[in-house]
Amino acid sequence: MSLKSFHLVFVTVSTLLFSFLAVWSFVFSPENSGIFNALGYVGIAGIVLMLAYGVYFLRKARQIHI
């Protein structure tokens, strides 16, 4: 597996896990408390950061022809 393929799989799986965390904390959490809301916001931040990293990596990979 090449470096580019590994990163694409890593970003995809990580984004899906952050999505699950956000949905669980806002929709399926057992109670509505501050820690569950904080986990939801961490999930949303993770989604945004992983997508930004994925775009950055693809642009960088195209520049150096990986």
pLDDT in tens, 6-54: 989 999 999 999 999 999 999 988 888 899 999 999 999 999 999 999 9
Residue 54: the pLDDT is 93
Q: Is 24 exposed, middle or buried (0-12, 13-18, 19+ CB in 10 A)?
A: middle
Domain range for 30: 3-63
- Looking at the predicted structure, is the pLDDT value of residue 1 above 80? no
pTM confidence score: 0.86
Q: How many domains are there within the chain?
A: 1
Q: Cα dist. 38→20, 24, 29, 31 in Å?
A: 14, 12, 12, 13
Residue 30: the pLDDT is 83
Q: How many CB atoms lie within 10 A of CB 38?
A: 11
Q: 64 phi and psi, to 5 degrees?
A: -100, 10
